[in-house]
């Protein structure tokens, strides 16, 4: 049970950090619109990218990399170092020498290594979450990931779009970053308060009800054929 709680804390913490990154990235879109929207194919991940990340996730699950965070902490640290350092070098090389034939390959490899490095680094940090109340706040945001994601959209569109304050393109990049941090801080405090009183977020509850076809959100129990026991569907 303790190991399961630690695993969930690590996963929820990573999701919480991801939401902060999404908010920071989307802040530019909320202010200035989508640059390059007519060439979205240049930004979409290829089938190779999707397949590689999917295989990585399957292997990580099979290898139980995130089931015992305390024991795997040295592994997370080493993985972060081995991925982040070459990732930075390759990504920078691909940008600086972008006219070279190999720059595209360096950029793809560098970005992939950075993604894995961030994952290991966050896992390492959140495997030590017991000593930090702030890290617990990130985990609380992650537990309500879908609710918080939709809330970010509502808050930001209300601030920037015409039906709200109409500040589209008026506050600047630095102010946008500070605004994103402020919004996330409020979400972290609110999520922590909410999770101390409820077990599941409102949107997460609806998703569970839909997935399990149950008003309680829990899997239905079926009677085992020929036995006097019940099993979860």
95-150 pLDDT per residue, tens: 888 888 888 888 888 888 998 999 999 899 888 765 567 778 888 999 999 999 99
> Domains of the chain: which residue ranges?
2-212
Dihedral through CA 168, CA 172, CA 177, CA 180, nearest 10? -20
What are the φ and ψ backbone dihedral angles of 181, each rounded to 5 degrees? -65, -40
User: With b meaning 16 or more CB within 10 Å and e meaning fewer, what string describes 150-170?
Assistant: ebbeebbeebbeeeeeebbee
Least confident of 31-40, 79-88, 107-116, 150-159: 31-40
| Closest C-alpha to 217, from 227, 207, 225, 226 | 207
174-190 core/surface letters (b: 16 or more CB in 10 A; e: else): eebeebbeebbeebbeb
Q: Which of 130, 18, 5 is nearest to 68 (CA)?
A: 5
Rg (alpha carbons) of the chain, rounded to whole number: 21
| Alpha helices per DSSP H over 33-68 | 47-62
Q: Which residue matches tokens 């896992």?
A: 123
Looking at residue 127, its pLDDT comes to: 84
Q: Considering the chain, what percentage of its residues have pLDDT values greater than 90?
A: 29
End-to-end CA distance of the chain: 22
- Tens of pLDDT along 186-195? 999 999 999 9
Q: What is the pLDDT of residue 200?
A: 84
Rounded Cα distance, 201 and 187, in Å: 13
Average pLDDT, integer, range 54-78: 88
Residue listed under structure tokens 């939401």? 19
């Amino acid at each position: 049970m303790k190991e399961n709680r630690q695993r969930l804390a690590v996963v929820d913490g990573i999701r919480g950090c991801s939401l902060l990154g999404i908010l920071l990235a989307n802040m530019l879109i909320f202010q200035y619109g989508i640059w390059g929207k007519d060439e979205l194919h240049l930004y979409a991940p290829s089938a190779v990218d999707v397949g590689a990340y999917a295989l990585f996730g399957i292997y990580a699950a099979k290898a139980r990399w995130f089931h015992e965070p305390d024991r795997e902490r040295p592994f997370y640290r080493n993985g972060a170092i081995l991925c982040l350092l070459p990732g930075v070098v390759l990504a920078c090389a691909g940008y600086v020498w972008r006219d070279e034939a190999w720059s595209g390959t360096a950029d793809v490899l560098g970005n992939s290594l950075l993604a894995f490095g961030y994952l290991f680094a966050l896992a390492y940090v959140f495997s030590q979450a017991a000593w930090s109340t702030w890290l617990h706040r990130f985990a609380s945001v992650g537990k309500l990931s879908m609710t918080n994601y939709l809330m970010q959209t509502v808050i930001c569109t209300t601030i920037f779009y015409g039906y709200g304050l109409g500040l589209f393109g008026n506050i600047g990049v630095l102010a946008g970053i500070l605004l994103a941090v402020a919004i996330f801080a409020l979400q972290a405090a609110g999520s922590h308060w909410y999770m101390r009183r409820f077990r599941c977020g409102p949107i997460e509850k609806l998703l569970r009800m839909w997935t399990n076809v149950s008003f309680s959100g829990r899997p239905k129990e079926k009677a085992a054929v020929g036995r006097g026991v019940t099993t979860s569907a």
